[in-house]
Amino acid sequence: MSNLSDDAIRRSAHRLRILVFAAMAMIAVVVVAAGLNVQLAHAHVEYRLHGTPYEQLIAAGSVALLLIALFHLTRMLGLIAAGQTFGVKVVRHFRGFASWLLAMALFEFAAPILATFVALRPSGPHLVRLNIDLRDALTVAITLLLFLLARLLERARRLDDEMREFV
């Protein structure tokens, strides 16, 4: 029974890995098409040309951080598909995935604030707004949950190692 469920987990991880690679490719194509103002099939991709250069850099930075996080996810899924369900590398890549997602969320929160200070001109009073987007707060909360899951995976790995010692 256990071998059957392990095979199902491996197949699911392999399929999910393919989907994540496809999503990464789609994100990259859309970003490049938007930057070049190219139409994809019948869909026209628009880029915020009216945004400030800071907003465009923030968007590009967020996409880059997301792609790095997804790359760690694909590495983790590849290891799971290869049968290393609770391996040290699996947990390391899962932690990397969570870390880069957290970096993206914190970057999206802090970068607009920093951009506001950088864009200030010393001629007179300025209004600095601090907007906290619920999506950003949820992203931070979810990534913190992923760190908890990473600790659970580490614990499961240790239990798996202990069980193998008994056999």
Distance (Å, whole) CA 40 – CA 18: 22
Question: Residue 103 CB: number of other CB atoms within 10 A?
Answer: 17
Task: Provide the pLDDT for residue 124.
Answer: 55
Q: How far apart are CA 33 and CA 112, in angstroms?
A: 24
Q: What is the pTM of this model?
A: 0.75
Q: Give the residue numbers spanning the domain of 42.
A: 2-166
What pLDDT band is residue 47 in, cutting at 50, 70 and 90? low
Does the pLDDT value for residue 1 go beyond 50?
no
Q: What are phi and psi of 96, to 5 degrees?
A: -60, -45
Place of tokens 């994540």: 20
pLDDT tens per residue across span 147-164: 888 888 888 878 878 888
Q: How many domains does the chain have?
A: 1
> Taking Cα atoms as reference points, which of 131, 134, 101 lies closest to residue 115?
131
